[in-house]
Amino acid sequence: MANYEENFTKAGFTVIKRCTLETSPANPRERAEMIVKALGVGREQIVKGMALSAKGSPLTALLPTDERPDLKAIGRVLGLELEYFPQEQIETIFGCTLEAFSVLSAPQRKIAVAADGRIFDQEQVVIASGDPLVELLVASEDLRAFLGGDAVRIVDLESARQGKAGLIEPRVLKGFRDYLPDEMLPRQVMISTITQ
């Protein structure tokens, strides 16, 4: 089986923890239970990947493991007609089998990625490596940077299901401060005065 962990580490990112499962899980729920026991993480930190087709072009969608796939909601948010990628072609196009589907193959294979915003609200997430027995705990910021940063389409599936706007509203990242014009303009004047 393919293991894309090396792609991630060669790009300069660190795997916080890796775990080898005793058996290959039959479904995402069983996979989540095994990972919770093995890594001691919460279910909300476990990410599942989906192989989708947008008018024949491959697309990887990342969802929290407990999220039920809703292609209509995802498609509405992205403005695309989506369907599941033909299972017999997944390994050829995405580089890994369905039971070990890994988003880590996306940059190498130039596959677009869309992700539920809740994934990047977590500090650390668990992703499949491409090997059905190996799971990786990584920093969500590292994962996003590895996948191309702003190239990752972030979607708000909860709002999409409720008929609200599909894209996540802009917000300040955790650990960063937002300076509004009332604060920023005097600050810039002061800094330029000191600089001069």
Q: Please count the other Cβ atoms lying within 10 Å of the Cβ belonging to residue 91.
A: 16
As to burial, measured by CB atoms within 10 angstroms (0-12 exposed, 13-18 middle, 19+ buried), residue 51 is buried
Q: How is residue 139 written in tokens?
A: 């920093």
The predicted pLDDT at position 1 comes to 46
Instruction: Write down the pLDDT at residue 100.
Output: 86
Contact indicator for 154, 168 with CB cutoff of 8 Å: yes
According to DSSP, the β-strands at 153-155 and 112-116 are parallel
**Cα distances (Å, whole numbers) of residue 69 to 22, 52, 144:** 27, 11, 21
* pLDDT for the residue numbered 156: 83
Q: Please tell me the predicted confidence (pLDDT) of residue 27.
A: 81
Q: What is the pLDDT of residue 162?
A: 61
Q: What ranges in the chain are assigned the alpha helix state H?
A: 5-10, 28-39, 71-78, 87-94, 106-109, 118-121, 140-146, 157-161, 181-195
Report field, pTM of the whole predicted structure over 0.95? no
Low-confidence residues of the chain: pLDDT under 50: 1, 165-167
Q: Could you tell me the two tokens for 132?
A: 């059905």
Residue 69, number of CB atoms within 10 A of its CB: 15
pLDDT of the residue at 134: 93
Q: In angstroms, rounded to a whole number, what is the distance separating the alpha carbons of residues 153 and 145?
A: 12
